[in-house]
């Protein structure tokens, strides 16, 4: 059988902050544990849930429009027209950070806590906290 086809979702839950320490929570919806202070916070966003459930995308095999029907990602989808399968994966969120040394814009995946970054252009190191 051919390799599994993966398609990235068009929608992603918004980034949320911990109610106790105001640091960023892990991405996603539902109960999330803060990596900084350990508090458990409930993340919900009904417009995102509605968008994920109603997301329509073309089948990568036959271009027939398929509706996701669930807010879970990743989800294994099967096209009703051609009966081929593919995986609908979560959208990867990236943020832009300006290097303090050369002001070049870097795109990174945000993660809770402090990260040490090294600019590929000027080689200067700096820390970012989410």
Look at residue 76 and tell me whether its pLDDT is greater than 70. Answer: yes
What integer is the mean pLDDT of 88-98?
Answer: 92
Residue 3 has a pLDDT of 61
Report the predicted TM-score, pTM, of the whole model to 2 decimal places. 0.76
* Residue found under tokens 């990235």: 8
Residue 71 has a pLDDT of 92
pLDDT digits (tens, 9 = 90+) for 19-74: 999 889 998 899 999 988 999 999 999 999 999 999 999 999 999 999 999 999 99
Residue 65 has a pLDDT of 95
Considering only CA atoms, which of 92, 89, 95 is closest in space to residue 115? Answer: 95
């Amino acid at each position: 059988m051919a390799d599994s086809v993966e398609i990235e979702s068009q929608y992603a839950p918004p980034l949320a902050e911990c109610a106790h320490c105001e640091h960023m929570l892990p991405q996603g919806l539902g109960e999330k544990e803060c990596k900084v202070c350990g508090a458990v916070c409930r993340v919900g966003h009904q417009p995102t849930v509605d968008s994920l459930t109603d997301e329509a995308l073309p089948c990568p095999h036959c271009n027939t429009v398929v509706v996701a029907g669930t807010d879970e990602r990743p989800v294994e989808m099967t096209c009703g027209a051609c009966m081929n399968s593919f995986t609908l994966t979560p959208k990867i969120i990236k943020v832009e950070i300006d290097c303090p040394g050369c002001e070049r814009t870097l795109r990174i995946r945000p993660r809770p806590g402090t990260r040490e970054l090294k600019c590929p252009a000027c080689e200067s190191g700096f820390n970012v906290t989410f």
